[in-house]
Structure 1
């Protein structure tokens, strides 16, 4: 682990598929090339990656979700932060900008639209999960 990742908490992202779309958010402040991403935030002390994904999704979008499974972890090539990706399903609520300081926009993105939102591609286990979930719905 680099000095940077060792001193910072990991980031956990929720991969929320509902119907035939995946939830993406656009941050107010860009992180380098990252414009659109999944709801995500720092894993707090005593929290699992799955719990953080559920909490961050609720805080950012107002959507109540439950964790299904951890899809994978990596050091993000754009930010250098340790990332965890958790597949989640919607329990209740409507996605909206619940944290206006952090988010500028939320979108339910169709499978074919993902490259428009994330032109540099997704983490392979996330892409494989979405290919399976969203392609089946098309």
Structure 2
């Protein structure tokens, strides 16, 4: 059996923060224990890939939407997973979002600012929260 690399040697995770029509796209993941968790479409950055491209690819692979012109919001080591996270903002999406990767995802939702705490009860990473506040409260 092969061992996994330590978290600091594993590729970063790129998260797509997609906003459209005054709502942000969240997906509900299936995780090993069978519990479900709402988060942004996300996945590992592949070798030679930019985080912006990885976030766009993951959004497409998981939900079928096409996003372009990503802007990096920030990065951190995630306090729960220990993985390096890179957050990429996209302000529009082409296509109808649906659960494409049904092995990894249970469902998805376009969430208004007033509903965020119902889906994600803990605080977002500061730059992400600032972006959500600015983009969702102005619409």
- What TM-score do you get using the length of structure 2 for normalisation? 0.91
Unaligned runs of 5+ in 1: none
Q: Distance in 2 between matches of 1:101 and 1:40?
A: 14
Aligned twin of 1:17: 19
Pick closer, same or farther for the CA change 1:5–1:66 going to 2, 3 Å. same
Cα deviation per residue 1:14-51 (whole Å; 9 max; x = unaligned)? 000001100000001168x8710000000000001100
Instruction: Figure out how many residues of one structure are paired with residues of the other and give that number.
Output: 135
- What TM-score do you get using the length of structure 1 for normalisation? 0.91
8 A contact 1:67–1:86 mirrored in 2: no
8 A contact 1:25–1:38 mirrored in 2: yes
Q: Distance in 1 between matches of 2:91 and 2:128?
A: 14
Q: Distance in 2 between matches of 1:115 and 1:42?
A: 26
8 A contact 1:63–1:90 mirrored in 2: no
| Alignment partner of 1:63 out of 62, 65, 87 | 65
Q: Distance in 1 between matches of 2:15 and 2:32?
A: 16
Structure 1 residue 4, shift from structure 2 partner: 2.6
The structure whose residues are more often strand, as a share, is 1
Return structure 1 stretches of 4+ with deviation > 6 angstroms: none
Q: CA RMSD in A?
A: 1.8
3-state SS in 2 of match to 1:127: helix
Pick closer, same or farther for the CA change 1:20–1:73 going to 2, 3 Å. same
Aligned twin of 2:136: 134
| Alignment partner of 1:54 out of 45, 56, 66 | 56
Aligned twin of 1:36: 38
Unaligned runs of 5+ in 2: none
